[in-house]
Amino acid sequence: MQTSSPAGRPGRPRNAAADTAILAATRQALVELGWSRLTLGDVATRAGVAKTTLYRRWSGKHELVVDAVAELFDELELPDRGSLAADTEGVVLQFAAILARPEAKSGLMAVVAESTRDDALRERIRTSIVERQKRLVLQGRTRAQARGELPPEADPEVAARTADLIFDMVAGAVVHRTLVSAEPADEEWVRGFTRVLLLGLAASA
C-alpha cells in the first residue's frame, strides 16, 4: 500500500473500499490456490476491480501478499496472565493460531523466501510484520523485570541482543513446528516449549 491521498490532492480520490476488497480477495485466493497458483488477474476478478487498478496500488505479487498477510497479525496482543511463563504461553498460542491459518502458511514463507533476494521486500516485511511481533517480546521482558522474574538489564546493547535472540527462538520455533514439522503448536506443545525456554533443557526434564 503506498501513500494514500489524505490531503487535498486534486483529482478523483482512490476508492478506499477497493484496498480492503483486494486484500481480502488475496487471502481468499491464498486459501484456495496457494501461493504459486495465485495470479493477480484472479485476485482482481475476485475483488471486483480491474487488473490495472491492482497494479496502480501494488507493484507486484510479493508486496500485495505481504500486506494481505500483515493484517492477520494485527490482532496480536500481550495478555497479562500474572507470570512470565503464562504470558509467554498466551502470546505463543496466539501466534500459533494465526500461523495455523492456511492463508498465513502459504503466503508468509513465500514472501520470506523472496525477500532473501529483495532488500526492499525484506524491509517491508520487517516493518509491517516482524517489528509488530518483536514489540511483544520487549513488552514481555519489561513486564517480567518489573515483576522481578528477570534481572534488569544494565547494558542496553546487551538487552537488545538478548531480545533479538528470544524473538528468533520463539518465532522460529513456532514457525518451524507449524510449517516444517507440520504439527500443531497446541497447548501441550506450548507448555513444553515455554518450560524449556525459561528453565533450560537440563532443568526441564
Partner DNA sequence: GAGCTTTCGCTACGAGTCGTAGCGTAATGG
Partner DNA sequence: CCATTACGCTACGACTCGTAGCGAAAGCTC
Report whether 76 contacts 94 (CB < 8 A): yes
- Evaluated on CA atoms 98, 100, 101, 103, the torsion sign reads positive
Using CB under 8 A, pick the residue from 109, 138, 147, 184 that binds its own copies.
109
84: cell is 512470565
Per-residue interface string for the shown chain with its own copies, residues 113-152, x marking contact by CB under 8 A: xxxxx----x--x----x------------------xxx-
Q: Is 13 one of the binding residues for its own copies (CB under 8 A)?
A: no
**Residue whose C-alpha is closest to residue 70's, from 58, 81, 56:** 58
Window of 51-59, 116-124, 156-164, 185-193 that interacts with DNA by CB under 7 A: 51-59
SS3 assignment, position 154: coil
The distance in angstroms from the start CA to the end CA of the chain is 48
Choose from its own copies, DNA, none: what does 52 bind? Cβ within 5-8 Å by kind: DNA
Give, in order, the Cα–Cα distances in Å from 10 to each of 16, 52, 182, 188: 16, 21, 51, 57
Window of 42-50, 81-89, 172-180, 194-202 that interacts with DNA by CB under 7 A: 42-50
Q: Is 9 one of the binding residues for DNA (CB under 7 A)?
A: yes
Tell me how many residues contact DNA (CB under 7 A): 25
Per-residue interface string for the shown chain with its own copies, residues 17-56, x marking contact by CB under 8 A: -----------------xxx--------------------
